[in-house]
Structures are given as C-alpha cells and as structure tokens.
Structure 1
Amino acid sequence: MIDLVIEQRRRNLGGGLEVGRVLPFAARRMIGPFVFFDHMGPMDVAAGASREIDVRPHPHIGLSTITYLLAGEIMHRDSLGSEQPVRPREVNWMTAGRGITHSERFEKARAVGDHLHGLQAWVALPERDEECAPSFTHLEGADLPGWDAGGVNGQLIAGSAYGLSGAAPVHSPLFYACLQLAPGARGELPWGYSERAVYVASGAITLDGRNFGAGQMLVLGRDASHVDSEQGATVMALGGEPLGERFLYWNFVSSSKARLAEAAADWKAGRMKLPDADSQEFIPLPETPPPPSP
C-alpha cells in the first residue's frame, strides 16, 4: 500500500525562515505533475524581525506555484501587477508559463508578529502549455469546495476529487486537498489517478498498519484507500497523471534543458520584468550553471 516514504529535509532559506523540502527527492522526482513540495514552518516570527525573512523578487518558468497556508499571512506581488495576501485556507495560484517574477513578503509577521505554517507546491505544465501566458489567481470561499463529515474537515485546493472540482486553472489531471482529521477519524483517499501521495503536515496517522508523523510524505500504492488518526492530524493529499520527465534549475522547470539555460541567461541579463510594486531588489542567479543540454 506504501511504495515509498520521503522524509522532509529541513533548510534555512535566510533570516530564520525554515522549510522542509520534500520534493524533488532522489528516489522520486515527481508525484503526477507535482514537481516540488515545501513545508513552511511551523514557526513563530516576532515583531521587528529582519527583512531577511522575506523572499525577494525571483523568476519562474514552466510551472504553476500553489501557496496554501494553515496559519499566518504572506503578501504576494508579481510582474503582472498582482498584489494579494494569502491567509489560512486560501490559495494563491500563479502560472508562470513563459515567464513571471514575484516576491513573497512576511509584512504582517515583521510588523506585529505571526505564527507561520503552510505548504508551497509547484505543478509542472504540459509541454503544450509550458510557454503559455503567465497568470495569477487568488482563491477562497466557494472557489475551494469543502466538506465536514465523520470527523474529517476537508478542503479541495485544486483539481477534481471527492466528487468535487475546484476553481484553480489546472492544465492537467490532478488533485490537491487538505484533510483535517479529528482524533479517531478516518480520511478517505481519492481514486482514479495514476500517482498519489499523502503528506503529514501535523499530528500523526496510521496507514498499512504503520505509524507516521509530521514531515513524512507517503507515496501510495494502488490499493491505499484511507488513513486513520488516533490523535488527530492535518494531511495533504495530492497526485495526478504524470507528464514525462522535467528538468529543474533553481526556480525554473522545463521539459528542455536548453530552455532552462535560456531562462537563466534572461534573468542574469535583466530581461525579465520585476514586480512594479517590488522592483528595488531581487535574488541573483545562483553561481551553479544550469544542466548542460544533451
């Protein structure tokens, strides 16, 4: 029922901002179209924290980013002119396509203090859409259908599952949901997708007679149908249909190594527009060169 267990690897992104990197993983690069998965926090930020905690403007191509918070607030600004905070049980969905830049600022945390806890995932785009026009969508309320039954409070973040469909502008078959399990509850897992996984964001679950805790992603076999939680848990369920091999370099995703090199050159040369409302600084291109084309 469990094909692989992936442990998060904790990383400090600067200024005390700590994340758990889950995907990509050496033994499993993607789950369906999900090519990147970070667990942010949980962490407390005191008022007056350094601006080093902020994520300065940086670029993306060939993907959609999905920011979903369990606690706290992040301010998003991008090169399309979007300026939108995301708060708990809301979604900021940004499709980079041929290229976009954005920043993620923790302005509320720095001003008055905050408790931060959330997830950011990247979804690769099908080859036909890798160079689509960039876009940004904020989702909340009815755009994120939910249910509350049997001790499970669920919210569909994107795609189709549990007989529901979300409003996120997905480009390939996928599902992404948050299941908050009360003590003693059982959470059903979506069927009908080639690749599936669950990630324990908090608490503990039991699956296939084994116990798992926060920071663990379980890549599921075909027979996995549910998870149980004796003490309560928050679980992210995700998956979809595979898109084929994708290459990653820094914040860029593509089916072509040559395209990664082109995007890196564009950023280094200043050819990618910065957010109008956040254009005074940016993250430089890493010194490590992009992977060579075959």
Structure 2
Amino acid sequence: MKKNIALLYRGMNSKVGELLANRLIPSISLHSVGAIVFLDHIYPVDLGHDNSPVPTGNYAHPHRGIATFSYVLSGSLSHYDSRGNHATVGAGGLQWMKAGNGIIHDEKPFTRKKDSPVFHSLQFWINLPGGAKQEKPEYMALQAADVPEAQLPDHGGAIRILLGEFGLWASPVPTFNREFIYHVRLNPHSRFSFSPKDDDEVAVFVPAAEVVINGNMIGNSKILLMEEGTKEIVFENDQINVADILIFGGQPYGEPIVMEGPFVMNRFADIATAYRDFFAGSYGTIIIP
C-alpha cells in the first residue's frame, strides 16, 4: 500500500546538447514543486577523459525569469556567461545562476585527470518571484567543501544542504520562496526520517540505487511527489552500498506561471518581451577564451 504518495513518475528521455537526460519536471502530471519548475537528470556518461573545461559555444543559450541550479554528482562542470562570470566545479559542487532580466550561458561537462571519466549531474530551474525577474543576473559557484553538511543519527550517513535551510545549517545560495534542495547520502542498512514544513510542497528523487520510502521501493531515476500535508517521510536503505536521495520543494508558487523554451515568466506578454530582448542583443555575449 502506498503511503503519502501523490505521484510516482519515471520521466522521459531528452537530449541536452550531446548528453542524454531524464526530464522529470515538467510533465503532463507534474508542472512544479514549490518554485522548482524543471528537473533534468543527466545520466552517467563516460567522457573518455575529456579534460577541457572550455565550451565551443555551440550550446550557449539564454534564460530569463529563473535561477538555474546545476549539481555535479561526478566529473566536473564549467560555466561561462554573458555577464562575465566563469567558474568550474567538481563532484559535490554546484552552480547557481539567477537569470533575472536576461543572460546567456554555456556549461561544459568535463573530467579532470584525477577524476573518474564518468560525468553525472542534475539541473533544476527555480522560478523567481515576479519582481526578481526584472533584477540583474547573479552567479555563484560552490565547491564540495563549501556545501554545508550535517551527519545523520546512528551513523546513518549525511545530509548536504545544497539550497535552503535545515536545522542549524543553511546554504549560502540565495532563496526567494523558501525553496530547498537536500542531498542525503544514506549509509547501508540505515534509516532516516524527514519531517516537511506543514505548507511545503515536497518531492523526492532517487537517481540510482533503490531505497524504501514510506514503505515503497523507489529508485533508478524516478521522482516521487508527496501528498499535501505529509507529516513524515521515512527513508530506508536495505542495500550494502550508500544510497543517494534528493529531497526538494518549498512553498507553493503563488503567481501565474508561463513557461516557453528557456524563459519562465508570469504573463504571455512577458515571454514575447523576453524573446524580443534576446534577439535585440540585450542579454550580452559570452566571451570564451
């Protein structure tokens, strides 16, 4: 019997540049979780020791109205944008870019010589409040060591606070709608109980190894939307390897949502303006060395 589960979804394959991804949000059944309106799971891919962080520019693209959030599970990722920001992060690191009133960016997966040749990542889009959609773009990169991490009870593993707050810990990444993203590393034969805030929308994503969530076995790149008012989510890892679990969500987004291509706005007229400004060149140009 399923407990507190509103939706279980396996996603749909999509190409992201040359990479294959599982697109989990949006879908016909799931448009958003809190302010999070997009989730791509970039499947593990062997890059063959491609150690160049410099993109070709062929996949550069614009955004307006959202913050992009890229989290690297293995390998490395570089970022270049039209506001002059540039950084690279390794496994366990993340990149946050507030597109605000318009930006163009390009991301390049690669592997350092000390890394495994496998690249594996997630990308979320966070819908900004209407006022923040008109603000100037911002960018932040965190390496793995910069991400707050708390230990779970009974040697159960760790929880990494990628975005938002958890108890005494808080990510330095800005939030707008009490959005949160946590990465739980659940040790073998361990259990962890999570209590959401009363009015939060909450989803769980398990990229690989299967775990038991409120009595149901879930894994292999599936997303689980919890019912409204769920008081407790219990995770159990009966396997002999560490299990990765992403918990995310936040307060319901209270404004209209209009999403088309790389733009997420509050009105159709704003989408038209976003395209017009992009074609007029107001988002700037990426300078790649």
8 Å Cα contact 1:14-1:53 kept in structure 2: no
| Residue 268 of structure 1, CA deviation | 3.1
Give 1:18's aligned amino acid.
L
> Which amino acid in 2 is paired with 1:220?
M
- When residues 22 and 170 of structure 1 are mapped into structure 2, their CA distance, relative to the original with a 3 A threshold, is same
**Cα distance, 1:38 vs structure 2:** 0.6
Q: CA RMSD in A?
A: 2.5
Equivalent in the alignment of 1:153 = 158
Task: Give the aligned residue type for 1:94.
Answer: M
Residue in structure 1 matched with residue 29 of structure 2 by the alignment: 27
| CA shift in 2, pair 1:234/1:107, >3 Å | closer
Structure 1 residues 196 and 31: CA distance shift in structure 2, 3 A: same
Partner of 2:252: 242
Q: For 1:180-236, what per-residue CA distance to the aligned partner results, in whole angstroms no more than 9, with x for missing partners?
A: 111111223242142001100120111232211121111112133221111141010
Q: Which residue of 1 aligns with 2:238?
A: 230
Q: Distance in 1 between matches of 2:50 and 2:146?
A: 34
Structure 2 residue matching 1:37: 3-state secondary structure: strand
Q: Which SS does the other structure have where 1:203 is aligned? A: coil
Moved more, 224-233 or 98-107: 224-233
- 1:244-273: per-residue Cα shift (whole Å, max 9, x none)? 331111111111111111112222343421
- Please report how far the alpha carbon of residue 13 of structure 1 lies from its aligned counterpart in structure 2 after TM superposition: 2.7
The structure-2 alpha-carbon separation of the partners of 1:176 and 1:48, relative to structure 1 and needing over 3 Å to count, comes to closer
Letter in 2 for 1:182: N
Residue 79 (structure 2) pairs with residue 71 (structure 1):
no
Q: Distance in 2 between matches of 1:103 and 1:70?
A: 19
Supply the distance in 1 between the matched residues of 2:50 and 2:215 (Cα, whole angstroms): 46
With 207-216 and 74-83 compared, the bigger mean Cα shift is at: 207-216
2:215 counterpart of 1:204? no
Q: Residue 274 of structure 1: which of 247, 260, 285 is its match?
A: 285
CA distance in 2, matches of 1:10, 1:109: 27
Letter in structure 2 aligned against 1:23: I
| Larger deviation, residues 21-30 vs 138-147 | 138-147
Superposed displacement of residue 55, structure 1: 6.4
1:252-267 map, 5 Å: 252-267=263-278
SS at 1:106 equivalent: strand
Q: Which amino acid aligns with 2:271?
A: L
SS in 2 for 1:130: helix
In the alignment, residue 229 of structure 1 is paired with which amino acid?
N
Gap runs ≥5 in structure 2:
none
8 Å CA contact 1:54–1:105 kept in 2: the answer is no
Q: 1:45 touches 1:109 (CA, 8 Å); kept in 2?
A: no
State the number of aligned residues. 276
Q: Does the C-alpha gap of structure 1 residues 48 and 252 become closer, same or farther in structure 2, counting only changes over 3 Å?
A: same
Deviation at 1:49, TM superposition (A): 10
Which residues of structure 1 form unaligned runs of 5+?
279-294
Give 1:40 deviation, angstroms.
0.8
- Does residue 106 (structure 1) correspond to residue 114 (structure 2)? The answer is no
Give 1:44 deviation, angstroms: 0.9
For 1:212, give the aligned amino acid: I
Shift of the alpha carbon at 1:94?
0.5
Structure 1 distance, partners of 2:56, 2:14, is 13
| Alpha-carbon distance, 1:41 to partner | 1.5
Give, in whole Å, the separation in 2 of the partners of 1:246 and 1:206. Answer: 33
Q: Which residue of 1 aligns with 2:98?
A: 95
Cα distance in 2 for residues equivalent to 1:142 and 1:250: 34
How high is the TM-score relative to the length of structure 1? 0.86
User: Structure 1 residues 167 and 37, CA, compared in 2 at 3 Å: closer, same or farther?
Assistant: same
Of 120, 123, 137, the residue aligned with 1:134 is 137
TM-score, structure 2 normalization: 0.87
Q: Quote the residue 1:285 is aligned against.
A: none
Residues 47, 54 of structure 1: CA spacing in aligned structure 2 closer, same or farther, 3 A cutoff? Answer: farther
> Does structure 2 conserve the Cα–Cα contact (< 8 Å) formed by 1:14 and 1:52?
no
Do the aligned partners of residues 48 and 142 (structure 1) sit closer, same or farther apart at CA in structure 2, a change above 3 Å counting?
Answer: closer
8 Å Cα contact 1:48-1:113 kept in structure 2: no
Counterpart contact for 1:152–1:186, Cα < 8 Å = no
Aligned AA for 2:187?
A
Offset of 1:88 from its aligned partner?
Answer: 1.1
CA distance in structure 1 between the aligned counterparts of 2:182 and 2:58, rounded to whole angstroms: 25
